[in-house]
Copies of this chain bind each other. A is one copy, B any other.
Amino acid sequence: MPNSFGTLFTITTWGESHGTAVGVVIDGCPPNLPLTIEEIQVELDRRRPGQSDIVTPRKESDTVEILSGLYEGRTTGTPISLLVRNADQRPGAYDEMVEKYRPSHADYTYQSKFGLRDPRGGGRSSARETVGRVAAGAIAKKILRMAGSVEIRAYLTQVHDIEMPPLQKFPTLAEVEASPVRCPDPLIAEQMIARIKEVRSQGDSVGGAIECRVRGMPVGLGEPVFDRLEADLAKAMLSLPATKGFEVGSGFAGSRMKGSEHNDPFEMRDGQVHTTSNRSGGVQGGISNGEELIFRTAFKPTATILQSQKTVNVKGENTELAARGRHDPCVVPRAVPIVEAMTALVLLDHWMRHLAQNRIFKF
């Protein structure tokens, strides 16, 4: 089921950018969880278009409806179906795309794979699909908070070549949300915004990177050997549009170190086993060790640019294309809640899996 994610807490997303609606079905949610529509809406509002002057002006309120799975304000353990209607469709804006493959977009590969495609706004390949992920992630986040004080925080560390120095402490949500670019360093955030506006004025775009940290991590999440925690996080991140890389803990820089520099010594602290450094990034042998989980995801520059580009058309002829229509000059700020949502889905699913095998039956 290529449109499903998760093993015990699973989601199935559906919907196209300019179809009737997008949505998600959540299966396996624990029953009796108090849940309001506002708790889902607040996360969708962080993802929606038009929220600031550095993102796409497409007008979508992204109002979520709950169609099933709740009774008198509580989950019932049956599938939760969530739906968001698409409002601001301008199919005319995509006429040229019917004929021409947009460079570094999914037009050519969808056409080749399926033999046809919905060209309106990229159809299924549009990041609009992530609406369902964010809605489901809001529920996963709530369970993680209620069940174990697990707190997930993602934020921009880089836009183009502007990079934030390493963060000494776990940032608050307010610090991240203080700037529309979602970088908790206010001065760097200003530079990032300026760069985004600059490239937009050039009809161009930029990429960037998101770091995600999780504190309050339970020990033991991650299933050897294939479903290691970092393996499923890597898959979750690379399943997002525009991502090109993932690293956990020391990451690529760690591959340039010696073992004597890289290893994280253990020590007892407050009666608990801890490491004195965290180059492991919170996972060892594919399993969380209780330290802060930390990983980074790289996003390429938005493929849609207003400059003219060489491409081919569906008839197999060389041609040129200059995009019209609305787009994000940098997708990374709006990707922050999506990264958090996918992280929450991975952690909750793994927590349930871990407890199911290892804590239900005690011998």
Bound state CA distance, A102 and B258, in angstroms? 16
Q: Does the CB pair A206–B259 fall under 8 Å?
A: yes
Other-chain contact of A266, B108, B236, B250 (Cβ < 8 Å):
B108
Q: Does the CB pair A316–B273 fall under 8 Å?
A: yes
Q: Does the CB pair A259–B205 fall under 8 Å?
A: yes
Q: Does the CB pair A246–B245 fall under 8 Å?
A: yes
Given contacts A124-B76, A244-B249, contact A259 B303 (CB under 8 A): yes
Given contacts A116-B71, A255-B244, A361-B147, contact A109 B289 (CB under 8 A): yes
Which residue of A21, A236, A266, A299 has the most chain B CB atoms within 10 A of its CB atom?
A266
Bound state CA distance, A230 and B241, in angstroms? 11
For A104, give the chain B residue with the smallest CB separation. Answer: B263
- Scan A1-23; emit 1 where CB is below 8 A from any B CB, else 0: 11111001010111110011111
- Scan A210-237; emit 1 where CB is below 8 A from any B CB, else 0: 0000000001101111111011111111
Q: Does the CB pair B265–A103 fall under 8 Å?
A: yes
Task: Say yes or no for A256: interface residue by CB 8 A criterion.
Answer: yes
Bound state CA distance, A161 and B81, in angstroms? 42
Given contacts A1-B4, A114-B32, A114-B77, contact A103 B266 (CB under 8 A): yes
In the complex, chain B residues whose CB is within 8 Å of the CB of A283: 109
In the complex, chain B residues whose CB is within 8 Å of the CB of A301: 254-255, 257-259, 261-262
Other-chain contact of A251, B147, B244, B262, B354 (Cβ < 8 Å):
B244
In the complex, chain B residues whose CB is within 8 Å of the CB of A117: 71, 76
In the complex, chain B residues whose CB is within 8 Å of the CB of A241: 285
Given contacts A27-B1, A113-B77, A239-B231, contact A68 B258 (CB under 8 A): no
Q: Does the CB pair B30–A360 fall under 8 Å?
A: yes
- Scan A246-283; emit 1 where CB is below 8 A from any B CB, else 0: 11111110111111111111111001010110011101
Task: Say yes or no for A305: interface residue by CB 8 A criterion.
Answer: yes
Bound state CA distance, A227 and B5, in angstroms? 9
Task: Say yes or no for A57: interface residue by CB 8 A criterion.
Answer: no
Looking at chain A's contact residues, is the secondary structure mostly helix, strand, loop, or mixed? mixed
Task: Say yes or no for A93: interface residue by CB 8 A criterion.
Answer: no
For A34, give the chain B residue with the smallest CB separation. Answer: B363
Bound state CA distance, A322 and B269, in angstroms? 22
Listed by A's residue number, 27 A-B pairs whose Cβ atoms lie within 8 Å are A2-B27, A2-B226, A3-B79, A4-B4, A15-B67, A20-B67, A31-B116, A31-B358, A32-B363, A76-B117, A76-B124, A78-B118, A103-B265, A104-B263, A104-B284, A110-B224, A125-B286, A205-B258, A227-B239, A231-B236, A235-B238, A255-B299, A261-B301, A263-B305, A266-B312, A267-B312, A268-B316
Bound state CA distance, A112 and B208, in angstroms? 37
Bound state CA distance, A230 and B2, in angstroms? 13
In the complex, chain B residues whose CB is within 8 Å of the CB of A258: 160, 199, 204-206, 301
- Scan A348-363; emit 1 where CB is below 8 A from any B CB, else 0: 0000111111111111
Q: Does the CB pair B248–A316 fall under 8 Å?
A: no
Q: Does the CB pair A68–B271 fall under 8 Å?
A: no
In the complex, chain B residues whose CB is within 8 Å of the CB of A28: 1-2, 357
Q: Does the CB pair A300–B254 fall under 8 Å?
A: yes
Task: Say yes or no for A298: interface residue by CB 8 A criterion.
Answer: yes
In the complex, chain B residues whose CB is within 8 Å of the CB of A69: 14, 16
